[in-house]
Amino acid sequence: MSDFVRPRHDAERLRIQVGVIRKAMRHRIGAGPAKGSVPPRDDGEVHYLFRAGHALVHEKDTPRLERFFAARGREFRGGLLRKETRLPGLALVELPRRLDGKDDVLATLDELDRELGPGRVTPDHVVYVTPTGTMCPATEPVSGKDLPDAVFPKPGDDPSVGKGVRVGVVDTGLWVPAVTSPVTPWLDGVVADPADQEVVDPAHIHPYAGHGTFVAGVIRCLAPGTRIEVEGVLTHGGAVFESEIVAQLDEALRDDDHPQLISISAGTHTRRDFALLAFEILAAAHGLDDGEETLVVAAAGNDASSDRFWPAAFPWVVAVGSVDPDGAVSDYSNVGPSWVDVYARGRDLVNAFPQGSYTCYEPPHLGEVRHFDGLARWSGTSFSTPVVTGLVAARMSATGESARTAWAAVRAAGTSSVDPRGGHITTVGPLT
């Protein structure tokens, strides 16, 4: 773990954003600390979130788990309950209640680490577009009359770029009016199933609305010919349980016409920095670790920290940090030479956003009302991620290479530099 101390201003933003998730997920979540197993008393100190009272375990380890609780029955109330996860090999269990007053998940997992081995049983983490710290998005969306002339990345006009490449955007869903709007013609043809379409009240645009539409728009600007389907996974305050996001990814990957690129502008820190168990099982089931058929590109997060952020930190995932227009690592971007693979501009991108009025809910603009006409300026590793996805898609269509080979070529063509925060970094894509 790093020794990063969250500034007071960011702590207040975190309290507000965790509150959004708690409300959206009907307070079914617990909060984890950066160290130890005692839940933080203040939401401004939350390091990760998880499904209260539950845990994830590999199916093959459930008999050992059952024996553990059978032997310790006097210390718990009730027994172990198994629930459906929809991902073969992954078991979701409801843990027995502890009688000593300690946290039912955090304290119990400490004991299971010693009994079954570290990280064999993990929380059902909450994966969200608002990771702890400075958050992602790193800013609330900004409106302005000058935006039509400032779309960035600049929309391409060659429909052959990206043609034949299938991209899945795992996000908040698709705001369908943007697809036919004359303001954002580059989104023409982007699709989402009815259940994945985002409903927006124009009088009160909700937090994180348009996030998935914005991400899809960035990809289309760089690779106009890509076939993009937006998955509405992060629909509860921009968040979803780990077990649920992998279930939807598993379903998409089992389709004969599955995506070749998956763009995920979301993630989380984890208990004791263990890898996300559900994603490990998903990768093993679909061969994601070689990236030949499907390559995952994910946001590195916005904590201004070097702590690993998952799923971006997996070695088989392309982890994307953010740089400013001058090429310097953005002050909010996570960094890490051991796990952040590449950087792209994530500051002040301009793309599609729902039409209507949005009331800021974070400091320093709390209560400010902003009006949008179909575009927004937004910042975060959420938006540097689709830049990389679009570049890889463009390369794949031009050369016929696999996703992994195309990614290697995109990275090799990047610019190397030394940054005060990021160290030796590689930057790809346009900066201005």
Q: What is the DSSP string of 276-325?
A: -HHHHHHHHHHTTTT-SS-EEEEE--SSSS-S--BTTTSTTEEEEEEE-T
Return the pLDDT at 138.
67
**Predicted local confidence at residue 4, as pLDDT:** 40
pLDDT of residue 85: 85
Q: Which residues of 208-238 are buried (b: 16+ CB within 10 A; e: fewer)?
A: bbbbbbbbbbbbbbbbbbbbbbbbbbbbbbb
Within its chain, how far is the Cα of 227 from the centroid?
Answer: 21
pLDDT-above-90 percentage for the chain = 82
Q: Give me the pLDDT at residue 3, please.
A: 38
Q: What is the pLDDT of residue 133?
A: 46
Pairing of strands 295-299, 317-323: parallel
**Mean pLDDT on 351-379:** 93
Q: Is 66 helix (H, G, I), strand (E, B) or coil?
A: helix
Residue type, 324: D
Between residues 257 and 134, which one has the greater pLDDT? Answer: 257
| 416 catalytic residue (yes or no) | no
- Residue 263 reports pLDDT greater than 70: yes
1-33 tens-digit pLDDT: 333 444 455 788 889 889 989 998 987 999 999
Q: Virtual CA dihedral for 236, 238, 242, 246, nearest 10 degrees?
A: 100
Q: In this model, does residue 367 exceed pLDDT 70?
A: yes
The pLDDT value given to residue 9: 58
* pLDDT > 90? residue 63: yes
Question: Which residue bears the tokens 């209560």?
Answer: 367
* Amino acid 137: pLDDT: 65
Q: Could you tell me the two tokens for 260? A: 């070749």
For the chain, the structural domain boundaries read: 8-126, 147-427
Distances, alpha carbon 50 to alpha carbons 22, 138, 148, 270, in Å:
11, 22, 40, 9
Positive or negative, the Cα torsion across 404, 408, 413, 419?
Answer: positive
| Per-residue pLDDT at 82 | 87
Which of 4-8, 249-253, 297-301, 331-335 has the lowest average pLDDT? 4-8
Asked if residue 222 has pLDDT above 70, the reply is yes
Catalytic residue, from 171, 196, 307, 341: name it.
171
Vertex 310 angle, CA 288 and 4, to 5°? 155
pLDDT one-digit tens code per residue, 224-246: 999 999 999 998 888 999 999 99
Q: Give residues with Cβ within 8 angstroms of 146, minimum separation 6.
A: none
What contacts 104, CB < 8 A, 6 or more positions away? 52, 53, 95, 96, 97, 98
- May I ask the CATH class of domain 147-427? alpha beta
Among the listed residues 54, 125, 206, 211, the single catalytic one is 211
Split at pLDDT 50, 70, 90, the class of 114 is very high
Active site residue 211: yes
At residue 204, the pLDDT reads: 97
Return mean pLDDT, the chain. 92
For residues 185-212, average pLDDT? 96
Helices vs. strands in the chain: H and E counts, helices first: 9, 20
Please give the torsion angle defined by the CA atoms of residues 200, 203, 205 and 206, in that order, rounded to the nearest 10 degrees.
Answer: -90
DSSP E strand boundaries for 311-407: 317-323, 342-345, 349-359, 369-378
Q: What is the pLDDT of residue 135?
A: 42
Q: Which amino acid does the sequence have at 192?
A: A
How many whole angstroms from its chain centre is CA 297?
Answer: 10
Q: What per-residue confidence (pLDDT) applies to 168? A: 97
Distance CA 424, CA 419 (A): 6
Q: Which residue has the tokens 């830049």?
A: 387
What is the DSSP code (8-state) at residue 195? G
Per annotation, catalytic residue among 265, 306, 382, 397: 382
pLDDT in tens, 285-304: 999 988 778 999 999 999 89
Q: What is the pLDDT of residues 124-171, one digit of tens each?
A: 999 998 544 444 466 789 997 778 779 999 999 999 999 999 999 999
